[in-house]
Amino acid sequence: LAASLYRRGIPFIRVPTTLIGLVDAAVGVKTAINHHSHKNRLGTYFPAATTLLDQSFLRTLPTRHVANGLAEIVKIALVRDRVLFDLLADRAADVVELVKHGGVGGEIIERAVGGMLAELAPNLWEQELRRLVDFGHTFSPGFELNADHPLL
């Protein structure tokens, strides 16, 4: 957000370090911050000059942070990619470790990013508010911001 505001926008490089960042936040052009109990209330549409998607960061994450990103991957699989869904189903028992360490996990991430790009590209600037990948975004911010214990 700061890069989009300073001097009417300066180039920045996005380097996501979480799974949710790799497959969701890194793909779009939105920048935002929470404000007065509202998630992403203040923001802009400002694409990064480039984005570095480096899966090696995932090796440092606790399992719960990987599981958080997997929820977004499952959503992409449900709305865009049957092959991705089957990969997840076939590897359900060890999918967290696979994603953290590459191999089939790399294919899972690549398919998820590709699915997200395919879903967002036709409406990148959100002239239309209806997007399948936004399923769940209506109510989830209220839960996240008002939970007794921090949620991911």
Confirm whether 75 is a catalytic residue.
no
Kindly give, in sequence order, each residue whose CB lies less than 8 Å from that of residue 125, ignoring residues fewer than 6 positions away: 29, 45
CA distances from residue 17 to 9, 60, 76, 131 in whole angstroms, order as listed: 23, 9, 19, 25
Q: Evaluate if pTM is beyond 0.75.
A: yes
d(CA 74, CA 89): 10
- The mean pLDDT value of the chain amounts to 89
If DSSP codes are grouped into helix, strand and coil, which group holds residue 111?
helix
Dist CA 4 CA 6 (whole Å)? 6
Using one digit for the tens of pLDDT, what is the confidence trace for 99-111? 988 888 999 999 9
Q: For 64-89, how does the pLDDT look when each residue is reduced to its tens digit (9 = 90+)?
A: 999 989 999 999 999 999 999 999 99
Catalytic-labelled residue, pool 30, 39, 75, 100: 30
pLDDT in tens, 102-136: 888 999 999 999 999 999 999 988 888 777 877 76
What's residue 129's pLDDT? Answer: 76
